Structure 1
Amino acid sequence: MSQLNIESNREKSLNLKAENVWKLGNYSSISTMLPPISDHLVRLADVHSGEYVLDVACGNGNTAITARRKGANVTGIDITSDLLKRAAEEEKIALLDGIIWKEGDAQNLPFEDESFDVVLSSFGHMFAPQPDLVSKEMIRVTKKGGKIAFATWPPELAIGSIFRVNGKYLPKKPDAPLSPILWGNPEVVKERLNGVSEIYFERGTALFPILSPGHFWEFMSTNYGPLLKTIQVLKSQNSVEQINSFRDDFLRVIEPYVVENNIRLGYLLTVARK
């Protein structure tokens, strides 16, 4: 049995449309954790001025804007229209213009074959319910010799641990999509990007300031869509005890990553050449 099958039997995520999940909470607040990772990704992908770059599941535009500041011709695509509106605002704040913001599905990219020199994603594509389709689409729209590069959360580190806890409190459905954090496992990534000519992995750690683990719970449980959805489910069951248990488990798993009033957010970068 492949690593992919082993992990998929162990962890499932709730079968929800991505756009519904990300309309909960405040993704703009959550995205304040991400700019250093976007910079690392764009540098590792060696984005150059004049290149055509696609940011898949771009959210409110952190990575697209970072690539545009390098002089690239950038398109950002996301399934959530509200996030695209915010991305356009962020572009103006950055004193930039020229980014094309487009609503669309990462599993069915509305672009011709081999349209882009570089295809990027920062923790976005990993939430699409059909990872094999996302992989094929990202490869399809990349030019021969071009690069596919993305950031994901490893299952064994802070955010991956939060996802495992979150999954523990969700209804178990036999048709639920695979867990997003499988994209943080290099062996799974190799399997999903089968057919690329080369692949490289690099790890990094971002520091996000917090006063205490309890403050991070407060921040995530009021802003982060997947956690908010789980809390909604538990509230609908009138399960105060389960919500308290959820919080306690969350605090337990993040405690090892809290250092000097920061939480250490370990991430995985993948760069593949078509």
Structure 2
Amino acid sequence: MAEASRIWALGDFPRVARETIGATGPLLVEACGIGPGQRVLDVAAGAGNVAIAAARAGAEVVASDITPELLDAGRAAAEAEGLELQWVVADAQSLPFGDGAFDAVTSSFGAIFAPDHAVTARELLRVCRPGGTIGMLNWTPEGWSGRFFATVAPFAPPPPPGYEPPVLWGSEPHLRELLGPGSDEIAVERRVVVLDHFADAEALVSFYRANFGPVIAAFEGLAGDPERAAALERALLTFARETNAAEPGRPPRWELEYLLVRARRA
């Protein structure tokens, strides 16, 4: 937990969230029907992309994350809007809340990074009341983000024991295996986040290298091996160029596929 917290504090993840997945927070809140009178837990909340949107909708919100620095950024953003949320440092695999304590439990590209998927799923289900909603946004293995993490992985420090790749949460059979035992209904939609504000592949790679913790950590680990660091840079640039979905002559465009998941707690 300590190393994961350190990695996500590197760079400027709140900026990454704003510039890439910012619009998905309100989308998940709307999809889950979150509103006044509901008690909501946002797991692996980061800087509050979903949690703050849920508070805007009138819900009583608890935002949890393993990285205190991200919660501090979320708290500041919420206070700037005059919103009151509870911010709790917590591991998605061991949530410090009672059984059935929340009407809705959400996670936007967050809980998927906890190493043990089965334990994480059981925790999401446990803290949601029967009949309540579990809402998730999960990168798909075959989509842009899945391929991005696969590009970085050979250059990154080895994962902890028992680690499962986060993008497996975006595989529908795996997702249903995880949430199915505690749910009586699971709805899944494929959606896309579009990145079209970067001038070129170099700008995209520079953005992630400067701001995204897992990429920064990978380069940190290669500090004594300039040849490997250069190879990672080349791999990222090749990936960015190959995944530009724009037609020739048009501004660059990257399409990040994810699953929008809504499950009803049995």
Name stretches of at least 5 consecutive residues in structure 2 with no aligned partner: none
CA RMSD of aligned residues (A): 2.0
One of 133, 146, 153 as aligned partner of 1:167? 153
- 1:77 and 2:64 correspond: yes
Contact 1:234 1:242 in 2 (8 A): no
Deviations 1:218-269 (A, max 9, x none): 1011111111111122223332442343333432443236863443222211
| Aligned-pair CA distance for 1:194 | 2.8
Written as runs of structure 1 = structure 2, the 5 A alignment for 1:1-274 is 17-32=3-18, 33-97=20-84, 99-170=85-156, 175=161, 177-195=163-181, 196-208=183-195, 209-239=197-227, 240-256=229-245, 260-274=251-265
CA distance in 2, matches of 1:105, 1:215: 33
Name stretches of at least 5 consecutive residues in structure 1 with no aligned partner: 1-14
Task: Name the aligned partner's letter for residue 84 of structure 1.
Answer: L
CA distance in 2, matches of 1:23, 1:257: 32
Provide the aligned length of Structure 1 versus Structure 2: 259
Deviates more, 1:126-135 or 1:259-268: 259-268
Deviates more, 1:25-34 or 1:255-264: 255-264
Task: Name the aligned partner's letter for residue 134 of structure 1.
Answer: T
Q: Secondary structure at the match of 1:197?
A: strand
Q: Among the aligned pairs, what percent are the same residue?
A: 32
The two structures have a TM-score, normalised by structure 1, of: 0.88
CA distance in 2, matches of 1:101, 1:175: 29
Contact 1:162 1:254 in 2 (8 A): no
| Aligned-pair CA distance for 1:167 | 1.3
Contact 1:203 1:268 in 2 (8 A): yes
Deviations 1:175-227 (A, max 9, x none): 36111111111111001113111100012222232111111101011111111
**CA 1:39–1:174 in structure 2 vs 1: closer, same or farther (change >3 Å)?**
closer
